[in-house]
Structure 1
Amino acid sequence: MEEPLLHDPSSSSSSSSSSSVSSPSSTTIIIRLSTIIAVAAISLWANYEASKGFEISIVNAAAGSLAGRRFNLMFVSNGRAARMVHHASQFVEHELYPSNLYPRKPVNRVTLRMASHNLTTTVSLTSGRGPADFVINLSPSLMSPSDTYAALASAVQRGIARVWLWDGGGTAPEPLLDAMVDYLAMIAGFASPTHVITDAVSQEPNGTCWSGEFLRHCDGRRQEFIARLNGAMRGRSWELMVDEALGSSVRRMCEGYRSSIGQLRESSDATPELVELRQVI
């Protein structure tokens, strides 16, 4: 007669022990994986913040108006405004500081502020609380154009350009700074060269003709010209270094540029009959 099967206590104990061991082991693995993912995410965010190089703040002083609500909905709530500042800064920094040979202007914080009322210009720059803090003021009128995104992107591009430009300790002439802002906006795709050419022909009393198109003309003649020019404006004696950045006299370069623009206009304005008459003469 066969003996009845008896339950082995040691076997049950071993199985229970094995189960209890495997359960904490799985939990430990999950915790470790979660920790690794969290650390990786924090590292990526830290690298992103470090790549920006400065703190970005967005302020909407027109929150109660239609323009303010549009700004908040289209650019603030989704982080688009901050990304605009970051991307514009990357572009400008690459043009003005292509290498360590060009000392960078200290920038710790940039505040993009939608003003509470329309400004005389679409964008302006004011100082923040510290010497390396800047406020880019935007006019609510920017929220009116049909292509609001392009209008705001252009304004941000110009504002950021002004942030990164040296200004000779406040002694650099506004026409020169405006021309550099125009040039940086132009090569970023936010300006009409035709309009700038018209402005370029007007000459300043000191013989210069600063404009975005003139600076593009100069940049085509000398590598890293715009970076050299910006570096020349780092100190108060910037006037002595501008000619060096150009590699020629500013007045001479301007005269040559004005002459070439005049010939270009003369050629573009000529009718076939006028061209034939000139050839006869």
Structure 2
Amino acid sequence: MKLHVVAVVSLLALAATASAVTYDATNTASNTAGGRRFDQAVGLSYAKQVLSDASTFCWNIFNQRSTAERKPVNAVTLVVEDIGGVAFTSGNGIHLSAQYVGGYSGDVKREVTGVLYHEVAHVWQWNGQGRANGGLIEGIADFVRLKAGYAPGHWVKPGQGDRWDQGYDVTARFLDYCESLKRGFVAQLNAKMKDGYSDDFFAQILGKNVQQLWSDYKAKYGG
């Protein structure tokens, strides 16, 4: 019971610090079919709340309890634009494709929520001073989306994939396996990536090199 109380207090403290960061969302594509669908199915108010909730969630995943442990970001912004692709993040700015929203078949509100969790992770995660490979960076962002409960049905199953650093869902599933070996693994890995990057970080945290971990992971799921 005491542990539960401590967990609740910790989350409340993180939520309180979220208010120190401002969140804003705009839709510059309201005159397009995708922009109108965003307004109707998602909305700017909901999107801003997701930016805040996802930030708090990231701080929890990365075990960043204080502002001193995080990137010096004071504002997170979202712009819905008439662009191709799905979404991208530059600095603290997230850009969502209205074309993607318009063409998505399924629960578009849930999908946009998942995409925003992924993109918000990019705002807050460390990237090894630019030395970490892109597959790992995207994998960590999708790991955040996975743990938040917004993994879409088309993602690979655990054990699938060709390389540990293939990126996105493949790497997210692998990181989830690593997390199962040591709770807080992703938080420790991200913390190490503040100042640089080496594949040896996996061995430093888990006692096995990343290729051995990948082999163990594949073996566990019959891959």
> What TM-score, normalized by structure 1, do the two folds share?
0.64
Q: CA shift at 1:239, angstroms?
A: 4.0
Which residue of structure 2 aligns with residue 195 of structure 1? 155
Find the structure with the greater CA-based Rg. 1
Q: CA shift at 1:240, angstroms?
A: 4.3
- The CA deviation string for residues 105-141 of structure 1, in whole angstroms up to 9 with x for no partner, is 2222211111123x22x221113xxxxxx11111112
- The CA deviation string for residues 16-55 of structure 1, in whole angstroms up to 9 with x for no partner, is xxxxxxxxxxxxxxxxxxxxxxxxxxxxxxxx88533322
Q: 1:81 to 1:247 in 2, by over 3 A?
A: same
Q: Does structure 2 conserve the Cα–Cα contact (< 8 Å) formed by 1:168 and 1:236?
A: yes
Which residue of structure 2 aligns with residue 61 of structure 1? 28
Which residue of structure 1 aligns with residue 173 of structure 2? 213
Say how many residue pairs are matched.
204
* Identity, % of aligned positions: 24
Task: Pick 1 or 2: higher relative contact order, CA cutoff 8 A, min separation 6.
Answer: 2
Q: 1:192 to 1:83 in 2, by over 3 A?
A: closer
Q: Any residues of structure 2 matched to 1:121-270 within 5 Å, and which?
A: 122-127=86-91, 134-140=92-98, 141-144=100-103, 145-192=105-152, 195-197=155-157, 200-203=160-163, 211-262=171-222
Q: 1:245 to 1:106 in 2, by over 3 A?
A: farther
Alpha-carbon distance in 2 for matches of 1:52, 1:143: 32
Query: RMSD of the alignment, in Å?
Result: 2.8
Alpha-carbon distance in 2 for matches of 1:80, 1:205: 33
Q: Give the gaps of 5 or more residues in structure 1.
A: 1-47, 128-133, 266-281
Q: Give yes or no for the alignment of 1:97 onto 2:63.
A: yes
Which residue of structure 1 aligns with residue 4 of structure 2? none
Q: 1:143 to 1:244 in 2, by over 3 A?
A: same
Alpha-carbon distance in 1 for matches of 2:16, 2:36: 27
Q: 1:49 to 1:116 in 2, by over 3 A?
A: farther
Q: Which among 72, 95, 99 is matched to residue 106 of structure 1?
A: 72
Q: Does structure 2 conserve the Cα–Cα contact (< 8 Å) formed by 1:232 and 1:238?
A: no
Q: CA shift at 1:98, angstroms?
A: 5.2
Q: Give the gaps of 5 or more residues in structure 2.
A: 1-14
Q: CA shift at 1:160, angstroms?
A: 0.7
| Matched position secondary structure for 1:111 | strand
Alpha-carbon distance in 2 for matches of 1:193, 1:204: 20
| Matched position secondary structure for 2:181 | coil
Q: Does structure 2 conserve the Cα–Cα contact (< 8 Å) formed by 1:57 and 1:112?
A: yes
